[in-house]
Structure 1
Amino acid sequence: MKILLDEMHSPAVARALRALHHDVIAIAEHPELRSLPDDEVYLYAVAHDRCIVTENVKDFRRLHARAEESGAPRTRLLYTSSRTFKRSRRDFTPFIEALVAWIGTPHAAGSEAWLKPPRPTPPQTAPTGQATQTSVATRAAPDTPAASTVTAHPDPDPDPARPVVTGSPTEPTPGAAPIPAQAPGPASTPASASHKAPDPD
């Protein structure tokens, strides 16, 4: 769609839209158009099949209605508001984005419309399966502490006479013969009883 920006709109908007491969001209960048009254601007837009983007709703709506009553050719009108798109700011990004969105939709010949800011893109949500996995992972129990590991240290002072015991001290080794109980030895005789007292003479 071809666009004609009315004189209140900056040529910077037209340049930005042309950089996006849209056919847009601004009255402010053409001296021969700036000198034309509104009715001749309307006829220029009709002759070149351009939609007029303007804040001058009162005058162009009147011209549009007159053309409809007389059966004359009409052009499209896109009304803008300085309260919605403030021209005092030097950032024309919202205005340009709104125009790009409007240009990308079909419009009937001779139609009238108001330019509105584009709707914000809704945030993307994770797929159901991914959300379920995330919730399950969130509810998972904390990691169980690992079993303690006991490291046997060598005896710093081994006793060679001390027998080495292997296996569990409370359970016998499978297949091993039981160790018989040791019989008690004879009672030791006191030293004093080992010598018989001599007979008296």
Structure 2
Amino acid sequence: MRLLLDEMHASSIAETLRSEGFDVVAVSERPDLRGTSDADLFALATSTSTVIITENIRDFAPLAAQRVAAGRPFPGLVFTNPKRFNRAAVAYPGDLLAALRDWLAAPPPAGDSWTWWL
């Protein structure tokens, strides 16, 4: 499973997961992706069969719903809760890294157009 960490998440999460053998890229690591609109990022992720990990429910949930309504699947979305993974807390990014490791260790969701909540 290919993963793309949205801009708000620390690139160190992607670096660590890659060192453990996972296919993860952070938007913040890629100058060509920084500042990309959510619609364009969603389209890119969909075209490359990549699951987006984001806390931006407000923008990505409607994009996903529009694709499903149009009969066009998307690879999946993982929404992170900003209260659980507070980027200003000392526990971050370790807490999100641990949650993603646990999630990746379980069988991934089957099919297309799924949403997962962490």
* TM-score, with length taken from structure 2: 0.91
User: What one-letter code is carried by the residue in structure 1 that aligns with 2:105?
Assistant: G
Structure with the greater alpha carbon radius of gyration: 1
User: What one-letter code is carried by the residue in structure 2 that aligns with 1:65?
Assistant: A
Q: Which structure: greater strand fraction?
A: 2
TM-align CA RMSD: 1.2
**In 2, distance between residues paired with 1:58 and 1:66?**
13
User: What one-letter code is carried by the residue in structure 2 that aligns with 1:112?
Assistant: T
Match of 2:97 in 1: 96
**In 1, distance between residues paired with 2:81 and 2:8?**
11
Match of 1:111 in 2: 114
Match of 1:83 in 2: 83
**In 2, distance between residues paired with 1:16 and 1:34?**
20
Contact 2:49 2:74 in 1 (8 A): no
Percent of paired sites with the same residue = 35
Could you list the runs of 5+ residues in structure 1 that have no partner in the other structure?
116-201
**In 1, distance between residues paired with 2:95 and 2:35?**
29
Contact 2:75 2:113 in 1 (8 A): yes
**In 2, distance between residues paired with 1:104 and 1:63?**
28
Match of 1:179 in 2: none
What are the superposed Cα offsets for residues 129-181 of structure 1, whole Å, 9 maximum, x if unpaired?
Answer: xxxxxxxxxxxxxxxxxxxxxxxxxxxxxxxxxxxxxxxxxxxxxxxxxxxxx
Q: Offset of 1:75 from its aligned partner? A: 2.2
* TM-score, with length taken from structure 1: 0.55
Question: Relative contact order, CA 8 A, sep 6+: which one is greater?
Answer: 2
Q: Offset of 1:90 from its aligned partner? A: 4.9
Q: How many residues align?
A: 115
Q: Which structure: greater helix fraction?
A: 2
Q: Offset of 1:112 from its aligned partner? A: 0.3
Ranges of 4+ aligned residues in structure 1 off by more than 4 Å: none
3-state SS of paired residue (1:34): coil
**In 1, distance between residues paired with 2:109 and 2:90?**
29
**In 2, distance between residues paired with 1:13 and 1:90?**
15
